[in-house]
């Protein structure tokens, strides 16, 4: 089952790599722009997934190297897992970035992940999501000079204000 999941992830990340390269604005030859950072991370993920597949294969006894274990997949059990909901949150985050902007989408994503991982105090969830988001924002915006999605309407105004600081 774990082997199959790793293979599905490799296919997904390969498609994501192509999608990022086709849809992101091109940067100049001398800078790492908006399309290279995700592609570098995706490349690292794919390499690590191949390493993981090799380790799974190597550590599995020869008599158990078959695909019979994937026949007992239970959809209700999958939808109850935290991994499933983590993936749903990431997909929703990816679609929310452009219309809601980096700041709001990332605060909500980190807050949902904190709740998913077991944090129960609303003040800790809110404060940690806000601080992590602002930290990442300033690292990418100021430190690396990478423009993050601003969102539409008043969310764009907030992003422009933060950029002027």
pLDDT tens for 137-159 read 888 887 888 888 888 888 888 87
- Confidence band of 131 (pLDDT split at 50, 70, 90): very high
Question: What average pLDDT does range 5-9 have in this prediction?
Answer: 86
Task: Write down the mean pLDDT value for the chain.
Answer: 83
Question: What average pLDDT does range 87-97 have in this prediction?
Answer: 90
- Confidence band of 67 (pLDDT split at 50, 70, 90): low
Give the C-alpha separation, 64 to 78, whole Å.
Answer: 23
Give the C-alpha separation, 90 to 80, whole Å.
Answer: 16
Give the C-alpha separation, 103 to 83, whole Å.
Answer: 24
Please say if the pLDDT value at position 58 is more than 90.
Answer: no
- Domain containing 124 equals 74-165
Give the C-alpha separation, 25 to 35, whole Å.
Answer: 7
Number of domains in the chain: 2
Please say if the pLDDT value at position 6 is more than 90.
Answer: no
Who wins on pLDDT, 160 or 65? 160
Residues 44 and 84 placed together within one structural domain of the fold: no
Residues 87 and 162 placed together within one structural domain of the fold: yes
Please say if the pLDDT value at position 161 is more than 90.
Answer: no
Give the C-alpha separation, 106 to 96, whole Å.
Answer: 9
Last residue of a domain, one of 42, 72, 102: 72
Q: Report the percentage of the chain scoring pLDDT > 70.
A: 90
Residues 93 and 120 placed together within one structural domain of the fold: yes
- Confidence band of 19 (pLDDT split at 50, 70, 90): confident
Please say if the pLDDT value at position 110 is more than 90.
Answer: yes
pLDDT digits (tens, 9 = 90+) for 73-90: 677 777 788 888 888 999
Residues 141 and 105 placed together within one structural domain of the fold: yes
Last residue of a domain, one of 72, 101, 119: 72
Q: Which residues contact 45 (CB under 8 A, 6 or more apart)?
A: 9, 13
Residues 123 and 150 placed together within one structural domain of the fold: yes
Residues 135 and 96 placed together within one structural domain of the fold: yes
Last residue of a domain, one of 40, 72, 104: 72
58 neighbors 80 (Cβ within 8 angstroms):
no
Residues 99 and 131 placed together within one structural domain of the fold: yes
Q: Print burial letters for 74-87: b (CB count within 10 Å at least 16), e (below 16).
A: eeeeeeeeeeeeee
Residues 134 and 157 placed together within one structural domain of the fold: yes
Residues 134 and 86 placed together within one structural domain of the fold: yes
CA distances from 128 to 39, 106, 114, 120, 143 (A): 27, 11, 9, 12, 21
Q: The whole model's pTM is what? A: 0.58
Helical H segments across the chain, by residue range: 2-23, 36-59, 75-79, 82-116, 122-138, 154-164
Residues 66 and 133 placed together within one structural domain of the fold: no
Residues 83 and 155 placed together within one structural domain of the fold: yes
Residues 33 and 111 placed together within one structural domain of the fold: no
């Amino acid at each position: 089952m774990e082997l199959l999941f790793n293979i599905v992830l490799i296919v997904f990340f390969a498609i994501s790599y192509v999608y990022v390269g086709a849809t992101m604005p091109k940067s100049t030859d001398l800078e790492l722009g908006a399309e290279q950072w995700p592609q570098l991370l995706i490349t690292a993920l794919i390499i690590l997934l191949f390493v993981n597949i090799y380790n799974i294969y190597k550590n599995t006894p020869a008599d158990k190297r078959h695909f019979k274990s994937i026949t007992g997949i239970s959809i209700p059990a999958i939808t109850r897992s935290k991994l499933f909901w983590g993936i749903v949150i990431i997909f929703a985050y990816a679609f929310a970035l452009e219309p809601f902007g980096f700041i709001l989408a990332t605060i909500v994503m980190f807050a949902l992940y904190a709740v998913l991982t077991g944090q129960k105090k609303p003040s800790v969830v809110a404060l940690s999501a806000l601080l992590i988001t602002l930290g990442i924002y300033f690292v990418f915006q100021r430190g690396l000079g990478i423009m993050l999605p601003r969102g539409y309407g008043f969310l764009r105004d907030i992003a422009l204000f933060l950029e002027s600081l």
